[in-house]
């Protein structure tokens, strides 16, 4: 497994904080409050992207993180818009560094797969950035297992590795269990999964007619629009009530419990909203409770479709 560390040598924290809301749903004051809450709990891993909130996310994270950057792992992403060409990577990465106020970034992810640019061009560019000391780790996000392995094979030709993968993973989005998580465990690739709360579905708030991404963003509404997903969320909320714990705490702790997961990415719009996710850091989940929660949603079929072997 890739052993992620800060520049000062501290191991990566068991959770990562995602700053997608910085400068958007969270203004500067709310963003700083969440950053401080994470640091108070020992979180040293922070995630952003070139496209988040028009650059405000990177700018605010840089303001907060810059004074202690040697004690942090800061990740950003390129290529969501404009593709993974050499020119686009270099241009957007330079802008990301300027926004963050950092000469070097710990992790640079390719934000998504690009069918239009040869991987040789992409990974030669990333290898040069690493050789220059401008990035420490190379990551990919939203890649299928075959895409990760293809990328890793090309990366090796330039003397670098795919160090970390950022996939979607939560109780109602478990496709990564089929090939992605076993692949990462086998190949020593760190995993920082996003959306452990399923766009807020697993907090239970939508059962009581709450508001959030699932109602405000048609993409999230479609992503989590199946009836069985809402039933799983209701069942998780019922279990949480029995245990006298917030369902968000259970959802995050469940994602973190998978041995292939390095650090789930938690996020929120305010420090108050973030609190149940942070509480998962101190929640001890045993294997029996993990199995009980896992049974609340369908286990995906094996990659070979040989169901009798599942």
Give catalytic residues, as residue numbers: 52
Residue that the structure tokens 């299928």 belong to? 144
- Between the CA of residue 211 and those of 100, 201, 217, 236, 252, what are the distances in Å? 31, 10, 11, 19, 20
C-alpha neighbours within 13 Å on the C-beta side of residue 51: 13
Residue 199 and residue 220 in contact, taking contact as beta carbons nearer than 8 Å? yes
Helices (H) and strands (E) in the chain, counts: 12, 8
Provide the 8-state DSSP code for 134: S
**What tokens does 18 get?**
């995602």
Say how far residue 58 (Cα) sits from the centre of its chain. Answer: 16
C-alpha neighbours within 13 Å on the C-beta side of residue 19: 38
**What tokens does 61 get?**
């994270």
- Counting beta carbons within 10 angstroms of the beta carbon of residue 282, is it exposed (0 to 12), middle (13 to 18) or buried (19 or more)? exposed
Residue 76 and residue 48 in contact, taking contact as beta carbons nearer than 8 Å? yes
Element (H, E) at 57: helix 56-65
Residue 190 and residue 165 in contact, taking contact as beta carbons nearer than 8 Å? yes
Taking the CA atoms of 124, 126, 127 and 133 in sequence, report the sign of the dihedral they define.
positive
Residue 8 and residue 69 in contact, taking contact as beta carbons nearer than 8 Å? no
Taking the CA atoms of 12, 137, 274 and 202 in sequence, report the sign of the dihedral they define.
negative
């Amino acid at each position: 497994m890739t052993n992620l560390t800060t520049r000062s040598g501290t191991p990566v924290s068991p959770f990562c904080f995602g700053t997608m809301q910085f400068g958007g749903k969270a203004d500067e004051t709310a963003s700083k409050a969440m950053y401080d809450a994470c640091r108070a709990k020992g979180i040293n891993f922070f995630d952003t992207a070139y496209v988040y909130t028009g650059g405000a996310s990177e700018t605010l994270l840089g303001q907060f993180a810059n004074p202690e950057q040697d004690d942090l792992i800061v990740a950003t992403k390129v290529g969501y818009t404009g593709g993974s060409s050499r020119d686009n990577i270099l241009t957007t990465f330079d802008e990301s560094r300027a926004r963050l106020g950092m000469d070097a970034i710990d992790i640079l992810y390719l934000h998504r797969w690009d069918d239009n640019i040869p991987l040789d061009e992409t990974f030669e560019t990333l290898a040069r950035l690493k050789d220059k000391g401008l990035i420490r780790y190379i990551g990919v996000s939203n890649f299928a297992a075959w895409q990760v392995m293809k990328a890793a094979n090309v990366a090796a030709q330039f003397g670098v590795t795919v160090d970390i993968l950022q996939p979607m993973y939560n109780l109602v989005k478990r496709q990564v269990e089929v090939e992605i998580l076993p692949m990462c465990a086998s190949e020593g690739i760190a995993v920082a999964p996003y959306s452990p709360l399923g766009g807020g579905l697993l907090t239970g708030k939508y059962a009581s007619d709450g508001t959030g991404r699932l109602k405000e963003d048609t993409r999230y509404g479609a992503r989590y629009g199946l009836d069985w997903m809402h039933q799983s969320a209701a069942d998780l909320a019922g279990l949480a009530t029995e245990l006298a714990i917030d369902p968000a705490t259970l959802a995050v702790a469940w994602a973190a419990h998978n041995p292939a997961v390095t650090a789930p990415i938690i996020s929120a719009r305010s420090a108050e909203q973030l609190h149940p996710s942070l509480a998962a850091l101190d929640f001890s989940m045993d294997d029996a409770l993990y199995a009980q929660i896992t049974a609340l949603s369908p286990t995906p079929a094996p990659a070979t479709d040989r169901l009798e072997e599942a």
